[in-house]
Copies of this chain bind each other. A is one copy, B any other.
Amino acid sequence: MPTHLTTSQSDFEQRFAEVLSMKREDAADVNDAVASIIADVRERGDEALVDLTGRFDRLTLDADGLAFSSEEIAEHVAKVSAEDRAALTMAANRIRAYHARQMPDDVQWTDPEGATLGWRWTPVSAAGLYVPGGQASYPSSVLMNAIPARVAGVERLVICVPTPDGVVNPLVLLAAELAGVDEIYRIGGAQAVAAMAYGTETIRPVDKITGPGNAYVAAAKRQVFGRVGIDMIAGPSEVLIIAEGEQNPEWLALDLLAQAEHDADAQSILITPDAALAEAVVAEVERLLPTLPRAAVAGASWRDYGTVIVTRDLDEAAALSDRVAPEHLELCVDEPEALAEKTRHAGAIFLGGWTPEAVGDYVSGPNHVLPTARSARFSSGLSALDFLKRTTLARLTPEALGAIGPSAVRLAASEGLSAHGLSVASRLRSLNGEKE
């Protein structure tokens, strides 16, 4: 049974705190196993990749077979139906258009003291994208990770995707092609992350690694962080829907179930001031749940983590949502923009009943890689900015140094850093000498 709360009940605060602190993930401690795999790849390179792929993916390769050839890619991609290709192409185009708007401008100005200041953005040189194999091998995730990198101007874009028992998802290869990926390797797990971070004979190292994966992949990303940049470590997914009035209970139920079917650890929350709507939605969930192919997964998620909260009004709903800081926030209300203004913390907001979260997973344009587990309080979804870095720029004229340099000398003295002070003072002496 999902959790049912009403904000007017006397123990609401305590029970809501329990919802907030639900631990939905028991991360297995695989750190030692992952450290051994990384050390092996660093030491033996391609040979380690071949051995580990044989062991974990039951796939016999030699080093020449690590990469998909362009002929192999073409052969797999040819199997994709025209309808799937059209849908994936529309998604790629919309995602590209959205992320292109994220590209920031370089900025430069000269201040009254004569200091020319600013910054510029440059792309990372090479990025690697991890794509899970098997059932979690989602072509949409390839687009969501690879397109922002390409939009940012990353020169070299690499994918690692395991092919257990040799099974390849042609849509993943098509997504890679549509996104403009340069190299695709049929390796997975911690060994793939190690290869992208440190390089092997066949795979040159990258500067940034993104993409979802299992506990081994997540642990490997944590361990190589610093050597390369990584994206956030994603936790189980969640949706929070605020609904009122005349919303269609079937639509809301399906939106809750769409989240729940991802993973037994996923969480679906409905908040509404309308107790009758809450009841109707729960009834629809119960009616629809058994009809789903993934009923076992969705049912476990709904039973263990599903939550329905009846509030006094929409303002109270917005305040509760901010305490959850959900990955996905659906505002199925008459004036969604006004309600959005009353919230601060969410990865993505879906405004109005005609914007189901599922269109955001595929085709609306914004990224579907979003902060989970309340981290929308302090972080953002994946964007072109994640594949760019900013270099600050400063140029002083002699006069500008004359104006602001003495303060630097003073502060260096207060921090006991004499060479800092001397490096400025030596120039100030020349400046004053020149003036004489």
Contact = CB atoms under 8 A, between A and B. Distances in A.
Interface string A369-383: 011010111111101
A415 B358 contact: no
23 contacts: A87-B411, A87-B414, A115-B364, A125-B377, A135-B416, A139-B415, A207-B377, A229-B379, A251-B426, A257-B423, A292-B419, A340-B393, A348-B391, A348-B393, A349-B394, A354-B427, A356-B427, A358-B420, A364-B396, A365-B394, A366-B394, A381-B390, A385-B385
A208 B116 CA distance: 31
A54 interface: no
A319 to B, nearest CB: 13
A290 interface: no
B257 A419 contact: yes
Interface stretch (A1-9, A66-74, A305-313, A402-410): A402-410
Interface stretch (A45-53, A57-65, A104-112, A186-194): A104-112
A430 B254 CA distance: 14
Contacts of A422: 254, 257-258, 288
A260 B337 CA distance: 54
Interface in A104-138: 104, 107, 109, 111, 115-117, 119, 122, 124-125, 135, 138
Copies in the complex: 2
A394 B261 contact: no
A358 B404 CA distance: 11
B380 A389 contact: yes
A320 interface: no
A394 B424 CA distance: 51
A381 B109 CA distance: 19
Interface of A: 83-84, 86-88, 90-91, 94, 97-98, 101-102, 104, 107, 109, 111, 115-117, 119, 122, 124-125, 135, 138-140, 171, 207-208, 226, 228-229, 233, 248, 250-251, 254-255, 257-258, 260-262, 288, 292-294, 298, 336-337, 340, 344-367, 370-371, 373, 375-381, 383, 385, 389-398, 400-401, 404-408, 410-412, 414-424, 426-427, 430
